Amino acid sequence: MGRVLALDWGRVRIGVALSDPTGSLASPYRTLSARPRETFLRELAGILREEEVELVLIGLPLHMNGSEGESAEAARALAAEVETLGVPVRLWDERLSSFTAESNLREAGRKPSRDKARVDRAAAAILLQEFLDSGES
C-alpha cells in the first residue's frame, strides 16, 4: 500500500493527515475549509494528485454504542463525493480521535480551543495511525 490520506471531517473544517510513502507513519498535513463543497473537492483532488495518494480514509463518527446517527450519514455522503475523484475510499471508526487530539495538545501545553484547525489535523493523524497500525491497509 502506498500513501494514504485521512480526513477528519466537520461541517466547518476538515483535518487532513497523510501517511509516509511506505504507509506506516501518519502525520498531520493541512486543514481545509468544508464549504463550499466544490472548492473543498477541488483542493482535495489537487492533494491526491500531488501526493500520489492511493487510498482516502474518512472518519466515521459512531456513537459510543457503535450505532450511526446523522453525522455518520453525512460522512457516508462525503465518501460518495470523494470517490468521484478516482481514488478508493474507506470509512473508519473515528470515535474519540478528536478527544485524544485535544488531550495530546493540552499535554503539550497548547489550548485546543485556540487552534481548532490544529485539533482537526491531529485528529486526522490519530485516525490514520490507528488504521495503519491495524494492518488492514
Q: How many CA atoms lie within 13 A of 37 on its CB side?
A: 10
12 falls within a domain: yes
The phi and psi torsions of 96 (rounded to 5 degrees) equal: 75, 0
29 falls within a domain: no
Q: Which domain holds residue 75?
A: 3-22+40-134
- Domain with 92 in it: what CATH number? 3.30.420.140
Q: Which residues contact 40 (CB under 8 A, 6 or more apart)?
A: 14, 32, 33, 34
The phi and psi torsions of 85 (rounded to 5 degrees) equal: -80, -5
Share of the chain above pLDDT 70, in %: 82
- Look up the pTM and report it: 0.84
pLDDT: is 63 or 127 the higher one?
A: 127
- What's the mean pLDDT in 82-108? 74
Cell digits for 68?
Answer: 450511526
Checking if the pLDDT of 104 tops 70, the result is no
16 falls within a domain: yes
10 falls within a domain: yes
What CA–CA distance (Å, rounded) separates 32 from 30?
A: 6
Checking if the pLDDT of 35 tops 80, the result is yes
- Length reported for the chain: 137
Count: domains in the chain: 1
30 falls within a domain: no
34 falls within a domain: no
100 falls within a domain: yes
